[in-house]
Structures are given as structure tokens and as C-alpha cells.
Amino acid sequence: MATESEGLKLRNAPGTDPMRPALFEVHRVRQETRDTFTLELRSRGPSDGFQFLPGQFNMVYVFGVGEVPISISGDPNRPNALFHTTRAVGAVTKAMRRLRRGDVLGIRGPFGASWPVNEVSAREVIIVAGGIGLAPLRPMIYQLLSQRDQRGRVVLLYGARTPDEILFTHELQQWRTQLGLEAFVTVDRAHGDWQGNVGVVTTLIPKAPFDPSQAVALVCGPEVMMRFTVMELSKRGISKNRIYISMERNMKCGIGLCGHCQFGPYYVCKDGPVFRYDQVQDLIPLREI
């Protein structure tokens, strides 16, 4: 098991079949950037809300097209609405982008291990996100900011491709000004009118305000970006057992049966997607496992 959250993992309600999708209706579609969108979903059946932990994912089924794993991007303290943010890159996610209010999807989940919600309480947290990697971290940011009074500093380092591809811009502003999140944003390329940082997200780490002897780091983005991020965090002095990453693999069943997402001794769908870095560091550089 990868994180302390094993005992907290949630599954479909007891007695229900985790392979059987529940019906959810599209309530709202929000275009975040050119190719990234958020679906707000509501359960079609009687429901007490969709309980999940930050970092978990669902298998999202577009009827007649296929099923894909997508992390949950909403607020765990607002279970009545289920949010998924994704890029339209494959057949299923392109079909998802065409959905409109009232259309119906199948949802299985929530699946997988969460970010270490308990371990980070009362600690400094440094969050490093790259591109769409901010979406699986957003529930954790909501969670951390909801406990603002009881906890230490929360620092977000976020890298996007261009200024137009920065996600959740309105919320970033709100988190900064109203909730005390220390957010630093950088882009890989920009034109002359951009007033912010330019450079890969790893370049923010040496100057980020956190105490490496105390901080816990949560990292999500493309795997190459996460490897370089871990190197920079290690240079600052954060030990690898206080760094967590969220991995992406070809999840299919979501419950560790089919083996599609096997990663050495782990199933990413069941033991991950969130792993403590020291548990997977020897596997990550391998070309074949």
C-alpha cells in the first residue's frame, strides 16, 4: 500500500457492484482552456452525495464510446456535485466534451489511494502541479484551505504551457486573496505582454517559501516533470518519504483485478494513483517492468 490513506479508501457503497456504473447527469459544462473542460455531474438516482477523498479517481463511461479513468477535481466537502476536469485528447474525452446539460454518463468509483490527508494536517504543504495535473490536486487544495485556521503554510507552484492554458484562474486568484494560499505560477512560453514568470515549474522550487525540514510535498503532472520536481525538492532538503506523486497508467477495472495498470508490485488503480515517492522511486526510471 502506498499511503496512509489505505484505511480511508472509499469504494462504491457496500453491497453495490464496483463494476456497475451509476448514472450521472451532466449539470454544467465549463470550458477551462482551449482543450480542457470541466463537467459538473449530479447523480440520477437517490443519493446522499458522492463521497470521495482528494486524489481519488472515477471510471467515466460514455455510453457507446468507452470508459476512461479521470481524477475527481471537485470539493470533497461538497459531495452533492461531482466534478471531472480533463483534456479532450482521445475518443472518450472528445465525446465527453460534446456532452450537454441533461446528457447521461456512467460513473464507477471512487477508486484508489488518496493524497495523505491526515499526514499533512498541521504541516507545511508544498504543492507542485504541471498542466492538467492541477485537477487531481484541486480537491486537496479545497481540503487544506477549509482547515486554514488549524494548519501551516500552503504553497502552490503551478506550471502551465502558456498563459492561455492556466487552469482555474478565477479560483487561483480567490485562493490567494481570500484564503491565504501562496501561489506561484509560471508558463513555459509567453508573448511580450505576459507579466508573470516564464520557465519550467521546477525553476520555482529553489526560491519557494517553505521549510524543507517540515514540509510535505504533493506533486502531479507529466511523469518527466514529476521526476525533475522530485530532484529539485530533494536538493532543497525534502526527504523522499515526504514527497507524494500521483501516477497515471492504463487503468481499466479500477479495483486491481485486470492487471492493466500493474506497476511492479503495485496496481496503480488500487495501490495508487497516489504513491509516496520512496516506494516507487526505483521503478520509475525503468523502461520495462
Partner 1 sequence: METLKPLLEEHPFLRDLSAEHLDLVVGCAKNVRFDPGKYLFREGQEANEFFIIRDGHVAVEIHSATKGPVIIQTVGAGEILGWSWLIPPYQWHFDARAVEVTRAIALDGKCLRGKCEKDYHLGYELMKRFSHIIEERLAATRLQLLDLYGNGI
Binding site for partner 1 (CB under 8 A): 89, 130-132, 159-161, 165, 186, 188-192, 194-200, 202-203, 207, 221-225, 228
Q: Which CB atom, from 185 or from 216, has the smaller least distance to partner 1?
A: 185
| 8 A C-beta contact, residue 273 and residue 246 | yes
The backbone torsions φ and ψ at residue 206, rounded to the nearest 5 degrees and listed phi first, read -60, -30
Closest contact distance (angstroms) between CB of 149 and partner 1 is 31
Closest contact distance (angstroms) between CB of 192 and partner 1 is 3
User: Which one-letter amino acid corresponds to residue 102?
Assistant: G
Grid cell, residue 106, equals 456512467
Closest contact distance (angstroms) between CB of 187 and partner 1 is 9
Q: Which CB atom, from 219 or from 225, has the smaller least distance to partner 1?
A: 225
User: Which one-letter amino acid corresponds to residue 187?
Assistant: V
Grid cell, residue 64, equals 457507446
Closest contact distance (angstroms) between CB of 135 and partner 1 is 12
Q: Which CB atom, from 102 or from 285, has the smaller least distance to partner 1?
A: 285
Closest contact distance (angstroms) between CB of 266 and partner 1 is 22
Distance CA 63, CA 89 (A): 18
The residues, ordered by sequence, that sit 6+ positions from 149 with a Cβ below 8 Å of its Cβ are none
Q: Which CB atom, from 199 or from 259, has the smaller least distance to partner 1?
A: 199
Query: SS3 for 277?
Result: helix
Q: Which CB atom, from 116 or from 136, has the smaller least distance to partner 1?
A: 136
Closest contact distance (angstroms) between CB of 202 and partner 1 is 7
Distance CA 269, CA 256 (A): 6
Query: SS3 for 284?
Result: coil
Q: Which CB atom, from 76 or from 131, has the smaller least distance to partner 1?
A: 131
Closest CA to 143 of 119, 167, 160, 165: 119
Closest contact distance (angstroms) between CB of 229 and partner 1 is 10
b/e 211-226 (16+ beta carbons within 10 angstroms → b): ebeebbbbbbbeeebb
| 8 A C-beta contact, residue 130 and residue 201 | yes
> Of how many residues is the chain composed?
289
Grid cell, residue 194, equals 505576459
Closest contact distance (angstroms) between CB of 206 and partner 1 is 9
Q: Which CB atom, from 91 or from 198, has the smaller least distance to partner 1?
A: 198
The backbone torsions φ and ψ at residue 64, rounded to the nearest 5 degrees and listed phi first, read 85, -5
Q: Which CB atom, from 121 or from 162, has the smaller least distance to partner 1?
A: 162
